Structure 1
Amino acid sequence: MKYGKVKNYINGKFTDALTSASLDVVSPIDGNLLSQVPLSGADDLDLAVKAAKAAFKEWSQTPIKVRVQVFFKYKYLLEQNLEELARLVQEENGKTYTEAVAEIEKAIELTEFACSLPQLITGELLEVSKGIECRIEYVPLGVVASIVPFNFPSMVPNWTIPNALTLGNCMVIKPSEKVPLSVGRIAELLKEAGLPDGVFNVVHGDSTIVEAICDHPDIEAVSFVGSTKVAKIVYRRATYNYKRCLALGGAKNHLLVLPDAIPGMTAQNVTASMSGCAGQRCMAASAMVAVGKVDHIIDQIVVEANKVIPGDNLGAVISKESKDRIEKYITDAETQGAKILVDGRNIKVTGKENGFYIGPTVIDYVTPEMNIAKEEVFGPVISIMRTNTLDEALAIENANPYGNAASVFTQNGGAARHVINNASAGMIGINVGVPVPREPFSFGGWNESKFGVGDITGKSSIEFWTKLKKSTTKWNPDAGVNWMS
């Protein structure tokens, strides 16, 4: 075991869970044992919530201009420790080192946005009547919780940590039990940056902790990122207990390719979107809709896909179960009549034979009723469906229940605007394979890709992590008595 046993982080200290139950943490790269993660229980969560609740009064009353200084320092520490943090992400998640570096760089950008929050929540003040002023202020909610997935061990936690804490909340975070190491290192850096004890707490575990978070009476809001199936459960349970909840689910992102698309650029972007992070991201290209005569572009995609080499510029998928599930999708599509142009099944990487690898896979002549066309595969696989018109392609995109992202590859501005106006997705790309908005623009999809109001990052997140306090003030006795008195 390369690392020591994972511990919870409560009130500024790493502590053993109250339970002895644990799971092995295995590196997808080579199958080696990295650590063990505790399966904490509701009592462990209660300790973390009590620590957060005790810290809330002082932290929330600290001026935001003072709170934000912690995150200026935290941003600096992320930059100084970038290589170490990226290596840790790579080990526990299986992505390439280059992808892991990009993940930490995005965490830095998210923190940089949080450092701008004092300028964005100045509130409003207006003299509404002679001698009478009305004021609006943003105030923190209290103790909040963040439940994060395996596919971005550092970036997704930083979707919520800097904003929620800078805005004055105290947090309990539940990392994925598959990748528990990065959040522990984040906790250390936050403490080094000067974050007071109790403001940030980590409780490890499985669905037991997720359920306990949804039920805990002292948690005011819950954010969740994961599958749509679990997002629905979390949203229902949290809101049933009168909490705010923002639950981000899965996706089935469609790339619409028109005949006038630039072949080289399109092929490179489609391939990168499909295979980046081994396809384990909710913004990955999962389905391509070929509109009209685009065989020359499909041929180029095959060429580009064959340049993606498992164990080199393509990372591992998270587990053997994931590998088996993805390969079954490919086999089922082939059995149903689809044509495999590039086959990523049965891959073994020399020297990493116990790792979990799927090669890039391109499947043509997929039809909308096939499972691979409808369900989230979460691997380096793209399914190509064919239509004659752009409206037929949009009908396929809009028929899928998800709504994270959609992209169109074209040089026609009118066609691009038609997709922007008519695609049922929260994030749209024009000649962009992964249309993730950069800060301060927010991240969030539509339909069954998101449950709750607002987005999880950017300016939109302010509304989720705060509530408005309205005050009306009269100091001038000459104002007299009127209906506002």
Structure 2
Amino acid sequence: MKYSPVNNYINGQFVHSQSTASLEVTSPLNGELLSTVPLSVAADMDAAVKAANAAFAGWSKTPIKERVQVFFRYKNLLHQHMDELSQLICEENGKTMDEAIAEVEKSIELTEFACSLPQLVTGEILEVSRGIECRTTYAAVGVVASIVPFNFPAMVPNWTIPNALALGNCMIIKPSEKVPLTVGRLAMLLKEAGLPDGVFNIVHGDSAMVEAICDHPGIEAVSFVGSTKVAKIVYQRATANFKRCLALGGAKNHLLVLPDAIPGMTALNVVASMSGCAGQRCMAASAMVAVGNSDHIIEKICEEARKIIPGKNLGAVINKASKDRIEQFITEAEAQGAKILVDGRGAVVEGKEEGTYVGPTVIDYVRPDMAVATEEIFGPVISIMRTNTVDEALVIENANTYGNAASVFTQNGGMARYIIENASAGMIGVNVGVPVPREPFSFGGWNESKFGVGDITGKSSIAFWTKLKKATVKWNPEAGVNWMS
């Protein structure tokens, strides 16, 4: 085993779980045993909530200008430990080194935004009547929880950690049991940056700990990122317990490719979107709608896809179950009449035969009712459907139950605007394969890609992590009594 067993992190210390049950953590790159992760129990969650609650009074009363100094230092530590963090992400998630570095760089950007929060939560004040003023201030929610997935071991935790903590909350985070190592390293960097003990805690485990978070009376708010199926369950269970909840689910992002799209640029963007992070991201291009005669662009896409080599510039998928599931989608589509233009099934990397790789896969002549056209595959697979008109393409896009992202490739500005206005998705791209907003713009989809109000990053996240307090103040007795007083 390469690393020591993973432990929970409570009140500034790594501590053993009160459970003896655990799971093995293996690398998707080569099947190497990395560590073990505990399957925590309710008593572990109770201890984390107790620590967070004890830290809340002091942390929430600390002026925000002082709180964000922790995150200035944390940002610098992320820079300093870029190589170490990136290597850890590669090992436990299966990403390429370039992808892992990009993930840490995005974590730094997210932290930079948190450092700007004192300028964004200044509140408002107005004299509403002679001698009477109203003012608003932002108060922390309390003890909050963040449930994060396997596909971004550093970035997605940093969607919530910097903002939630800088705004005065104390947090319990539940990482994916598939990738528990990176978050533990982040905890150490936060402590080194000066974060007080108890403000940030980690409780490892499986679905039992997700349920414990939703049910615990000491937790006021819950954020979740994962599949739509689980997002619905978390949202319903958390809100049934009178918690605020923001749950981000899955996606089936459509790229609408028009005949006037620049072939080379379009092909590079489509292939990068479908194969980046081995397709294991909710912003991946999973379905493409070719409008009109786009054969020349599809040929270019296949040419670029063949340059993506497993183990070289394409990482592994998270485990064998995922590999088998992805390949089953491809096989089923082929049996239903779709044409496999580039086939990634059966990929094996020399020297890493125990790794779980799927090669880039391009499937043409997909019908809108096929599973590859409607379900989230979460692999390096793009399904191509064909239409004669943009409106027909929009019907396909908008029939999709998800609503995370959509992109259009065209040189026609009017047509791009038409698609921006009519596509039912929360994030739209024009000649961009992965339309992720940069800070301070927020990340969040529509429809069955998100449950709850607001977004998880950027300015929109402030409302989720705070409560607005309103004060009306009168100091002049000579004003007498009126309808306001």
After the TM superposition, which residues 443-458 of structure 1 pair with which residues of structure 2 at under 5 Å, given as runs? 443-458=443-458
Partner of 2:308: 308
Task: Name the % identity.
Answer: 79
After the TM superposition, which residues 49-60 of structure 1 pair with which residues of structure 2 at under 5 Å, given as runs? 49-60=49-60
Q: Could you tell me how far apart the structure 2 residues matched to 1:158 and 1:379 are? A: 23
Residue identity matched to 1:397: E
Q: Could you tell me how far apart the structure 2 residues matched to 1:49 and 1:478 are? A: 49
Residue identity matched to 2:377: V
- Of stretches 474-483 and 232-241 in structure 1, the one that deviates more from structure 2 is 474-483
| 1:479 CA drift (Å) | 1.8
Partner of 1:127: 127
Residue identity matched to 1:238: A
Please give the secondary structure, in 1, of the residue aligned with 2:155: coil
Q: Could you tell me how far apart the structure 2 residues matched to 1:85 and 1:4 are? A: 16
Segments of structure 1 that go 5 or more residues without pairing to the other structure are none
After the TM superposition, which residues 70-85 of structure 1 pair with which residues of structure 2 at under 5 Å, given as runs? 70-85=70-85
Q: Could you tell me how far apart the structure 2 residues matched to 1:406 and 1:440 are? A: 20
Partner of 1:330: 330
Residue identity matched to 1:301: I
| 1:483 CA drift (Å) | 1.2
Partner of 1:472: 472
Q: Give deviations 1:265-309, integer Å, cap 9, x for gaps.
A: 000000000000000000000000000000000000000000000
Q: Could you tell me how far apart the structure 1 residues matched to 2:476 and 2:90 are? A: 63
4+ residue runs over 3 A deviation: none
Q: Could you tell me how far apart the structure 1 residues matched to 2:197 and 2:479 are? A: 47
Residue identity matched to 2:52: A
Q: Could you tell me how far apart the structure 2 residues matched to 1:134 and 1:373 are? A: 53
Q: Could you tell me how far apart the structure 1 residues matched to 2:479 and 2:217 are? A: 44
Partner of 2:339: 339
Partner of 1:100: 100
8 Å contact 1:260–1:410 — kept in the other structure? yes
Q: Could you tell me how far apart the structure 1 residues matched to 2:343 and 2:259 are? A: 25
| 1:93 CA drift (Å) | 0.1
Q: Could you tell me how far apart the structure 1 residues matched to 2:479 and 2:237 are? A: 50
Q: Could you tell me how far apart the structure 2 residues matched to 1:128 and 1:321 are? A: 62
Q: Could you tell me how far apart the structure 2 residues matched to 1:335 and 1:90 are? A: 35
Please give the secondary structure, in 2, of the residue aligned with 1:24: strand
Please give the secondary structure, in 2, of the residue aligned with 1:273: helix
Q: Could you tell me how far apart the structure 2 residues matched to 1:300 and 1:479 are? A: 76
| 1:475 CA drift (Å) | 1.4
Q: Could you tell me how far apart the structure 1 residues matched to 2:189 and 2:268 are? A: 37
After the TM superposition, which residues 21-36 of structure 1 pair with which residues of structure 2 at under 5 Å, given as runs? 21-36=21-36
Residue identity matched to 2:184: G
| 1:29 CA drift (Å) | 0.1
| 1:60 CA drift (Å) | 0.3
Q: Give deviations 1:352-400, integer Å, cap 9, x for gaps.
A: 0000000000000000011110000000000000000000000000001
Q: Could you tell me how far apart the structure 2 residues matched to 1:477 and 1:74 are? A: 49
After the TM superposition, which residues 243-392 of structure 1 pair with which residues of structure 2 at under 5 Å, given as runs? 243-392=243-392
Please give the secondary structure, in 2, of the residue aligned with 1:353: coil
Q: Could you tell me how far apart the structure 2 residues matched to 1:176 and 1:74 are? A: 23
2:150 is the alignment partner of 1:147 = no
Q: Could you tell me how far apart the structure 2 residues matched to 1:363 and 1:310 are? A: 18
| 1:75 CA drift (Å) | 0.3
Partner of 1:162: 162
Please give the secondary structure, in 2, of the residue aligned with 1:88: helix
2:180 is the alignment partner of 1:180 = yes
8 Å contact 1:109–1:439 — kept in the other structure? yes
After the TM superposition, which residues 201-212 of structure 1 pair with which residues of structure 2 at under 5 Å, given as runs? 201-212=201-212
Partner of 2:395: 395
Residue identity matched to 1:428: I
Q: Give deviations 1:125-169, integer Å, cap 9, x for gaps.
A: 011111111110010000000000000000000000000000000
Please give the secondary structure, in 2, of the residue aligned with 1:201: strand
| 1:244 CA drift (Å) | 0.3
8 Å contact 1:132–1:479 — kept in the other structure? no
Q: Could you tell me how far apart the structure 1 residues matched to 2:314 and 2:349 are? A: 11
8 Å contact 1:239–1:245 — kept in the other structure? yes
| 1:212 CA drift (Å) | 0.3
Q: Give deviations 1:54-108, integer Å, cap 9, x for gaps.
A: 0000000000000000000000000010111000001000010000000000000
Please give the secondary structure, in 1, of the residue aligned with 2:9: strand
Q: Give deviations 1:437-478, integer Å, cap 9, x for gaps.
A: 000000000000000000000000000000100011111111
2:238 is the alignment partner of 1:220 = no
Q: Could you tell me how far apart the structure 2 residues matched to 1:149 and 1:389 are? A: 37
Q: Could you tell me how far apart the structure 2 residues matched to 1:102 and 1:20 are? A: 36
Q: Could you tell me how far apart the structure 1 residues matched to 2:168 and 2:245 are? A: 18
RMSD (Å), alpha carbons: 0.4
Residue identity matched to 2:40: S
